Structures are given as structure tokens and as C-alpha cells.
Amino acid sequence: MTDVHILGVGMTRFGRHPDSDAADLGAEALLEAVADAGIDARAVEAAYCGHVFQGMVTGQRILAEVGLAGLPLTNVENACSSGATAIREASLAIRAGEHDVVAAIGTEHLTSSFKGALTPDPSDPEAAVGATMPGVYAMRARRYMEEFGMTREQLALIPVKNKANAARNPLAHFKTPITIEDVLESRPIADPLNLHDCSPVTDGAAAVIVMSDRALRKYGGDRAVRLAASALRSGSVDVEPVSMTFEPLTWATAQDAYERAGIGPGDVDLAEVHDCFSIAEVLRVEGLGLFEQGSYPAAVERGEADISGRLPINPSGGLIGKGHPLGGTGVAQVVEVVRQLRGEVGDRQIEGARVGVAHCRGGKAVGIEGAACTVQILVR
């Protein structure tokens, strides 16, 4: 069976795009990925497009804009993991021998379709009584403080770190570093979370070109990064009390990915994780096995998760700093890891990085543990 390689990556600026829509952004990212791969766009044999609130045929509109209408195209909706799932589907098509060159796109024009705090799925019973994602994660933060002694100042260091990284990322939504005081004095959202603890409403898109061994030999692979694993799981129904400070879904998906890639968490050099809220970074990093449960806030305080630290987390700025255009997020995480492993990110570069993880999780946070979780492992 062939390996799967990523040869080309592309990404728009994340932020507000009042003069573009999701298809425009997706087309921009796709053309950049094709150019980065050094191939003719007509070499692409199929495409998968992840998005959440963009309607039924966004992927087809993207292909039409870049002159590729008529290709096999699958639109993918899997909550915040939509773009990451598009990459997984593209990789499966390569491994199955169905195609040799496939595009995976993630896009979202969130500012035109969503204005306030996301809720769990409307069918969820907790949503019916007013649960929102900020409220749920605020409860998880408060419980983590109770169980492990995390201070409010330690939690604030996560957006401080991520927005410092974003300030060095020309494609990030936010460009200004912040302080602990900025976090603590920002507008309250759901105690203990304030505005700077939350990811923003963002427009943006990203794309990757995945290839088989055969295609890589044809087009040249000096800059290719191997997609060693792409794992996907969905959450189980909550039928008994569950921990608010540990994520079995992230843990199980990560174990699947590590096994497929033939590595362990100790082999990872950097990780892009789904920090939709500051506490989410804590839960996901520990769920991935990268830090022991209860240890991550103090590790951040010691600088271990900085770009120059022992294990950099979210060097792109993460969802809090780079932005969170839902369908675009999972692909953008992979774009960052690929560029890190290729040594192409300037003063955000992690020296000697060879193995990177991209973790994305989407869907309602109550009633069902999580709708979808993806863990992608990339190796150079």
C-alpha cells in the first residue's frame, strides 16, 4: 500500500474578509497549494472540501473558480473537524489506489453566517436549556482548577503564549501580543473565561495537495512531508457521569494515530491543538499524552510550550491567536505543521522539528462527548 505525502500547502490570511466568500477564499488557498506543489492544476484528480455553515455546493464553486469543474468532489461537514476530515478522506483515496493526486480544502466565511457564541447541536437536551460552548468550557476550567490547583493567572498564560506566536505569523487573525493583565481585564464571557480566552469569529481557508508514492516520484519530493497517520473517532453518548478534566475521545484518537504512525507521544516535536478556549488547550494537550494530566498549566508557566521550549504547542498562534474559521481550521493546522517540518516559518521556526501532530475536535460538548476528533501525524 502506498504512503501518503503532502507536497503542496496553501492558506489565506485569517481574519475578516468582507469582500470575499467561502468559495473565493477556498480558491485562493487551493491555487497557492497547487503552486507550492509545483504541479499543473490539471494534475489534481479529485478533491474534498470541508466546511460547516457554507451550504451544499461550496466545493464545486471552488473548483469552478480555479478551472477544475468536473472533478470528483466531496463536500465534508463534520463540525470543527470538517477540514481535517477532508484531509483524512483524501488520504484514504490515495491509500486505496483510487487516485494519485488529491486536493483537500477547508474553508469558512464565518462572519457572514454567525455572530455569537456557538451552542451545542440544537437537538442536545442541554442546548435546549441554554448551554453554550463558552459556558461548558467555563465549567470545565473551574473543575480543572478545583482538581489540579490551576490558577487563573496560569490559565491566562495560554492566550498570552498563543497571541505572542500569532504576532509572528503574517497570516494570523491577531497581530498584537497581550499580557496576563490584558486577559484578566478583558470582557467577561463565562466565568472564569474572558474574551481573550476565546477563539474569534474568523474567515479563512487552507488547502493541501496529497500524493501517492507514484505521483511523488513523478513530480519530485524534496519538500514532501509524509502523512504518517490520520485518525478519526466520534464521541460516545454520555450514559454515566464523565470527567470534565479528561477527554477520552482525544485520548483514544491519539492512541489510534500513534499506533498507525509507529511512534509515541515522546517522539513529537510540536503540536497544533484545538484551543477553541484556553482551557481546551490544557485538556487536549494532556489528552494527547504530551503532558501528564494536571501538569500542563505549570509547564506553560515554565516556558515548556513556547516556540523555544521543550515541546512547542500552537506555534501558529492556535485558534485563539491565528483564528478559527471552523472548516478551515483543521487544514490550517496541517499547513502549519508541514511548513514547520520544512523549515519555512521564519522566526517561528522550531529547530530540528521532524514529527508534528495536528489535533482537531468538533461538535457539541455535552450529551455526546464530542462529535468528531481527528489526530494527524506528519513526519519529515
Question: Could you count the other beta carbons within 10 Å of the beta carbon of residue 248?
Answer: 16
198 in active site: no
Half-sphere exposure of 97 (CA within 13 A, CB side): 1
Q: What angle do CA 373, 376, 380 make, to 5 degrees?
A: 170
Question: 311 and 270 in contact (C-beta within 8 Å)?
Answer: yes
| Strands 355-362, 270-272: pairing kind | parallel
C-alpha cell of 337? 505543521
Q: In 3D, which of 339, 348, 351 has the Cα closest to residue 378? A: 339
Residue 104 corresponds to which cell in the numbers above?
483537500
Q: Burial, 340: exposed, middle or buried (Cβ in 10 Å; 0-12, 13-18, 19+)?
A: buried
Calpha distance 174→172 (Å, rounded): 6
- The DSSP line for 255-272 is HHHHHHHT--GGG--EEE
In the set 5, 17, 51, 80, the catalytic residue is 80
Using N-to-C axis directions, what is the helix angle for 82-95 and 329-342, rounded to 10°?
60
C-alpha cell at 44: 489534481
Q: How far apart are CA 312 and CA 172, in angstroms?
A: 17
The residue written with cell numbers 492556535 in the block is: 318
Question: Which position among 49, 324, 359, 373 bears the catalytic label?
Answer: 324
Tell me which DSSP letter residue 281 carries.
H
d(CA 177, CA 159): 9
Rg over alpha carbons for the chain, rounded to the nearest Å, is 19
53 has which bridge partners? none
For residue 67, what are the CA distances in angstroms to 44, 62, 63, 71, 98?
11, 9, 6, 10, 22
C-alpha cell at 85: 476530515
Asked if 49 and 66 touch (Cβ cutoff 8 Å), the reply is: no
| Distinct helix (H) and strand (E) counts, the chain | 13, 11
Q: Is 360 a catalytic residue?
A: no
Active site residues: 80, 324
